[in-house]
Amino acid sequence: MANSVLEIKNASLDIKKDRVLEDITLKMETGRVYGLLGRNGAGKTSLLSLIASFRKPTRGVVTIDGQDPYENAELMPKVDFLYEADYSEEYRTPEDFCRMTKRYKKDFDTDYAYELLDGFKIDRRKALNRMSKGQQAAVNAVLGLASNAPVTIFDEVTNGMDAPSREYFYQQVVEANARTPRILILSTHIVSEMEYLFDEIIIIHQGRVMMQEPLDTFLERGFRVTGPKEKVSDFTRGMEVLASEHLGPTQSDMVLGHLEELQRQEAQSRYLNIAPLKLQELFIRMTEDREGV
C-alpha cells in the first residue's frame, strides 16, 4: 500500500457561533501511531471529524495526499473513523458488519477480523444489541484494525473495555501497523497505558495545537528528581519545578528543562535519584490551568 501524507494547514472550525478549533497545522505520515491528547472539550473529536470529512473546516485546508477529502468519493474509503457508537438498536452481527464493510472497503481483511473477534472472545454471530458495552467497543476496534484504511482513527475506542481487552487491543495496534503500515490516530484519556504505543504526541488545548512532537523528544522536556526533602529542594532551586510531591521525609520534584551532564553527576554525588518523566504526568501539568510551559 502506498504511503500517505495527511496535512492540516491553518484550519479553524466554528460550530454554531463558537470557534472550537483555531489555526490547526499538523502533518502525519504512514507507519506512525499518533496519540491525540487533550482535556475534555479541548477539540479532539472536532479535529478528528475534520480529518474524517464529517465536517469541513471554516477556514484552512485538510488534505490527504494533496487532495481535499471532503465529499471526495475516491478518498472516503481511505479514512476509517471509529468512535463509541450506540448499538442499542443494532440487531446485526459482527459477521454482518464485516460483510457490509468488505463491500465498500476492498482492503478490509475479513479473515483478520474473524481472528481478532476470536482474540476478543466475541461471538461473531451474536447481534450487537445483545452485547455488553465492552464487547461492542471490541467489535468497533476489530472493524478499524481489519479495515487496513490508510488513515485509521480510533476516538476513545477502548471506552468500556476491561483491562485484558484493552491490553489485547494495544498488542493488535502494534501488530496491525506492522502488517499494513498506515496513519493511526488514537485519541484517548488512558494516557498512562498507551504511552508505549505512540510514535508522536499531539496535544490539543483549548482548540489549538499545543504541540506535535515525537514521544522521545516530548519526554526529554523534563525529569524527576527524588530524595531527602532538603537535598531535593536544594538541587532544584532556580529550576522550573512543575510539581513537588512529598512522602514522609522524601520529596519528588517534577522539573521542566534539560539536565546537563555535570548536573547529573552532581545529583548522583548527592544520592538523588533522577528519572525520566511519564507522558501522563507531563500531559496533566501542561494542560492544567496555568500559563503554557
Ligand X SMILES: Nc1ncnc2c1ncn2[C@@H]1O[C@H](COP(=O)(O)OP(=O)(O)OP(=O)(O)O)[C@@H](O)[C@H]1O
**Helix%, strand%, coil% for the chain, nearest 5:** 35, 30, 35
State the Cα–Cα distance between residues 223 and 257, nearest whole angstrom.
7
**Piece in contact with ligand X (CB under 6 A), picked from 13-21, 27-35, 80-88, 240-248:** 13-21
State the Cα–Cα distance between residues 201 and 209, nearest whole angstrom.
11
| Largest distance between two CA atoms of the chain | 67
State the Cα–Cα distance between residues 99 and 48, nearest whole angstrom.
26
Q: Which of 1, 15, 85, 275 is close enough to bind ligand X by CB under 6 A?
A: 15
State the Cα–Cα distance between residues 50 and 85, nearest whole angstrom.
18
If the CB atoms of residues 251 and 287 are measured against ligand X, the closer one turns out to be: 287
Hey, which residues between 31 and 70 contact ligand X (CB under 6 A)?
38, 40-46
- Shortest distance, position 134 Cβ to ligand X, whole Å: 19
Q: Which of 174, 121, 151, 168 is nearest to 30 (CA)?
A: 151
State the Cα angle at 246 between 244 and 247, rounded to 5°: 155
- Shortest distance, position 18 Cβ to ligand X, whole Å: 5
- Shortest distance, position 261 Cβ to ligand X, whole Å: 40
Grid-cell match 476496534, residue found: 141
- Contact between 88 and ligand X by CB under 6 A: the answer reads no
If the CB atoms of residues 15 and 100 are measured against ligand X, the closer one turns out to be: 15
- Shortest distance, position 79 Cβ to ligand X, whole Å: 17
If the CB atoms of residues 47 and 142 are measured against ligand X, the closer one turns out to be: 47
State the Cα–Cα distance between residues 185 and 196, nearest whole angstrom.
14
- Shortest distance, position 132 Cβ to ligand X, whole Å: 22
Radius of gyration from C-alpha coordinates of the chain: 22
If the CB atoms of residues 107 and 156 are measured against ligand X, the closer one turns out to be: 156
State the Cα–Cα distance between residues 27 and 83, nearest whole angstrom.
22
- Shortest distance, position 55 Cβ to ligand X, whole Å: 9
If the CB atoms of residues 42 and 183 are measured against ligand X, the closer one turns out to be: 42
If the CB atoms of residues 15 and 85 are measured against ligand X, the closer one turns out to be: 15
Q: Which of 16, 103, 237, 290 is close enough to bind ligand X by CB under 6 A?
A: 16
If the CB atoms of residues 47 and 242 are measured against ligand X, the closer one turns out to be: 47
- Shortest distance, position 57 Cβ to ligand X, whole Å: 13
The 3-state DSSP class for residue 165 equals: helix
State the Cα–Cα distance between residues 64 and 74, nearest whole angstrom.
11
Q: How many residues bind ligand X (CB under 6 A)?
A: 12
Residue 142 C-alpha cell reads as 476489530
Judged by the rule CB under 6 A, the positions of this chain that interact with ligand X are 15-16, 18, 20, 38, 40-46
